[in-house]
Amino acid sequence: MTSSLDAGAEPAATLRDELGRCHARANNQRDALVRLTDHQMADCASFPETLRSILEVSAATLGVSRASIWRYNDTRFALECVDLYESATNRHSVAPALNADDYPDYFSALARAGVLAADDAVSDPRTREFTDGYLRPLGIQSMIDAPLYFGGALDGVLCHEHCGDTRHWTADEKAFVIAVSNQISLIFERCQRHRIEAALALQSAALDAAADAMVITDREGGLVWANPAFTQLTGYTVPEALGKNPRELVKSGVHDSSFYQNMWTTLLDGRVWRGELTNRRKDGVLYVEDQTITPVTDATGAITHFVSIKRDLSAQRTLEAQLLQAQKMEVVGRLSGGIAHDFNNLLTVINGTAELALMDLAPDHPVRADFERIKESGMRASSLTRQLLAFSRKQITRRETVDLSQLLTNFRGMLQRLIGEDITLIVNADALLATVSADPSQIEQVVLNLAVNARDAMPLGGRLTIEVRNVALDQAFADTHTGVNPGRHVLLEVTDTGTGMSAETLSLLFEPFFTTKEDGKGTGLGLATVYGVVQQSGGTIWVESALGRGTTFSIYLPATSAPQMATAKELTPAAGHGTVLLVEDEDAVRDLATRILRAAGYTVLAASNAAMALERLRTGGADVELIVTDVVLPGMGGREMAEQALKLRPGIPVLYTSGYTDDTVLAYGVAQNTVHFIAKPFTVSALTNKIREVVRRAPASGGMQ
């Protein structure tokens, strides 16, 4: 028989045991929360690792099989798994999303907030929707879920799942789950805040680094923020402009009131305004900007601010003007080249006929003076056409490796005599100046023309400075100077202290026949020739000038490391004999050349086109020892005809002639001294001298001289 004392001892022991278990759980939960507190200060870059660690600690503390974190998607009609931890295998994974349509009771219970503790999850009305597809397959018997919050709103759920017998969740366990979910919510918010701050810092840095000026103004137009590009564009610092209307700061007076009225009507109507404005920098310089202004509204739709993006179009406008000028010069050059070609054919006949007549006229003949005047005028006209061809870049040149320093040294005495004693000539050159590839006679013509222009701009005397130096042009320079390629160049700079030029004059400077000289003293071809020679030499030319401030011409020629070559000497004129096949489509030129060659002692077979010339070679041209052909012929050109002729008569020498040619193959051959060429208009002596040179250089000239 048990005494009443013994009967009371058993409940007391049970109570002590239960208190001990509660105390142990509390200590365990406390220690876990202390460990989890450290995760609140974890680096947000290790956010996934932090959540995994929290799940591991939480699962171990509660002794559950599975712990997971879920968050609502953007539509809030599904929960997406952030991480799922399984304690038995110590494995982390991601479970499929849970759709609200499939589990309406569970989603409804979550919306009511609070801890969702299901001792028997299979029968609990809040969780039994998971029974067949989730609980029974995984052996889950009990669940305890705690809500996760973000920004004060329900954002997800922290879930713990117990496998095995039914588990009765205690009050302290519910409190522990809430404490853990609160810590996760705090981490969510801290990391989100960190991401927002980082994004804002990046946006701020990006706006500050933007090349385009950006401005925010209030509804009245007062500036409240601007990036550093605003200062670069306008010259005003942000503190100077704060509170002021940017339009009033940079207003140029170019636009009338209706322009700005249209702008404000568009903006106050809530629409974006786009357009180009001419504004004035703080230093007074005008510039063109492309501007986009966007209204900013508040939650009610009322306009509170305006955001302006301003792009400086100055460089673009400069490049556009350069391109337009280059295109215009190209068109004018083509026209000039065509005119020069036709004139050269006419001048060949005029000059040659005059020269032949003078050869037959006695010194005291009454018409001799007339023919001498014709010849003199024809030679002057020939000089003009050569300048036109130089401008149009259709003149075949003999390019050599040129030392500009040596060229200027040899040329200095003549330049000083040309400009006169009242102008001081200064010539400077780098000690180790690179060489350039150019026709030296053309470069001399360039310097000569620029010196003459400088002299005319300094009627009361002054200073003319010519400098040559090595320069390395980078991509930034090339980007702002049309036609320039980066790399090593030699700069030829000609500067005078003369009257200078207006912007209007500068825009027309290189056009042929444009001149500022009065009383017909200038032909208007000097600077056109300079432009053409520089272009033909692979270089570029730029001019800086202002009225009363003088002028600077800057010529950039690509540097070369090729060795200098000796200039060929002109041969002494002499008569000859032999048979020449002459191919020329212009009747007058063909008749004149025939007269010149026959007078010099040659037998001439004349042809007006390539087909006729080849037929003469086939049928009766056994004695032909030289072919003289125009480059441009109807049908087959002169070069193609010569190739066919060489198949019939291998090794026969060919002399090309033309008023101009842009045949790159022929031009290369002339430059390399592998092709013989004489330009129109040619004189009697020039043609006979050239034929003699060609014959002497031929591998086997036979009896021809």
Q: What is the pLDDT of residue 462?
A: 92
Whose structure tokens read 């366990």? 173
What is d(CA 66, CA 90) in angstroms, rounded to the nearest whole number?
Answer: 10
Give the model confidence (pLDDT) of 633-658 as tens digits: 888 888 889 899 988 888 889 998 88
Helix (H) or strand (E) holding 540: strand 540-545
**Region 254-259: what's the mean pLDDT?**
88
Mean pLDDT of the chain: 81
Output helix, strand, coil percentages for the chain, rounded to the nearest 5.
45, 25, 30
Residue 222: which residues within 8 A CB-CB, separation 6 or more?
Answer: 243, 244, 245
Q: 129-133, 177-181, 553-557, 561-565: lowest mean pLDDT where? A: 561-565
Q: 109-123, 127-141, 406-420, 423-437: lowest mean pLDDT where? A: 406-420
Q: What is the pLDDT of residue 12?
A: 63
Q: What is the pLDDT of residue 530?
A: 80
Helix (H) or strand (E) holding 72: strand 66-72
**Region 239-256: what's the mean pLDDT?**
86
Burial class (CB in 10 A: 0-12, 13-18, 19+), 592: buried
Q: Which of 74-83, 310-319, 395-404 has the highest mean pLDDT?
A: 74-83
Give the model confidence (pLDDT) of 340-357 as tens digits: 667 777 777 787 788 778
Nearest to 446 by CA among 368, 555, 365, 597: 555
What is d(CA 146, CA 169) in angstroms, rounded to the nearest whole number?
Answer: 13
Q: Which of the four pLDDT bands, split at 50, 70 and 90, describes residue 571?
A: very low
Give the model confidence (pLDDT) of 186-230 as tens digits: 888 888 888 878 877 877 787 777 788 889 999 888 899 989 988
Q: Is the model more confident about 18 or about 132?
A: 132
Is the pLDDT at 520 greater than 80, yes or no? no
**Region 392-421: what's the mean pLDDT?**
77
**Region 431-443: what's the mean pLDDT?**
84
Nearest to 309 by CA among 326, 289, 329, 325: 289
Is the pLDDT at 43 greater than 50, yes or no? yes
Domains of the chain, earliest start first: 22-194 (3.30.450.40), 211-312 (3.30.450.20), 322-391 (1.10.287.130), 400-560 (3.30.565.10), 578-697 (3.40.50.2300)
Question: Is the Cβ–Cβ distance between 449 and 527 less than 8 Å?
Answer: yes
Neighbouring C-alpha atoms within 13 Å toward the C-beta of 226:
28
Is the pLDDT at 568 greater than 50, yes or no? no
Q: Report helix, strand or coil for 384.
A: helix
Is the pLDDT at 155 greater than 60, yes or no? yes
Q: What is the pLDDT of residue 665?
A: 45
Q: Which of the four pLDDT bands, split at 50, 70 and 90, describes residue 1?
A: very low
Q: What is the pLDDT of residue 112?
A: 84
Nearest to 608 by CA among 633, 631, 628: 633
What is d(CA 352, CA 342) in angstroms, rounded to the nearest whole number?
Answer: 16
Please write down the long-range contacts of 247-255, taking CB distance under 8 Å and 24 or more positions apart.
Answer: 247/221, 249/282, 250/279, 250/280, 250/281, 251/279, 251/280, 252/277, 252/278, 252/279, 252/280, 252/286, 253/280, 254/278, 254/286
Q: Which of 185-189, 196-200, 298-302, 694-698 has the highest mean pLDDT?
A: 298-302
Q: Which of 312-321, 444-453, 589-598 has the highest mean pLDDT?
A: 589-598
Q: What is the pLDDT of residue 332?
A: 62
Residue 74: which residues within 8 A CB-CB, separation 6 or more?
Answer: none
Is the pLDDT at 83 greater than 90, yes or no? yes
Longest CA–CA span in the chain (Å) reads: 176
Is the pLDDT at 64 greater than 50, yes or no? yes
Helix axes 171-209, 47-62, angle to 10 degrees: 180
Is the pLDDT at 28 greater than 90, yes or no? no
State the Cα angle at 558 between 544 and 569, rounded to 5°. 110
Question: Is the Cβ–Cβ distance between 215 and 225 less than 8 Å?
Answer: yes
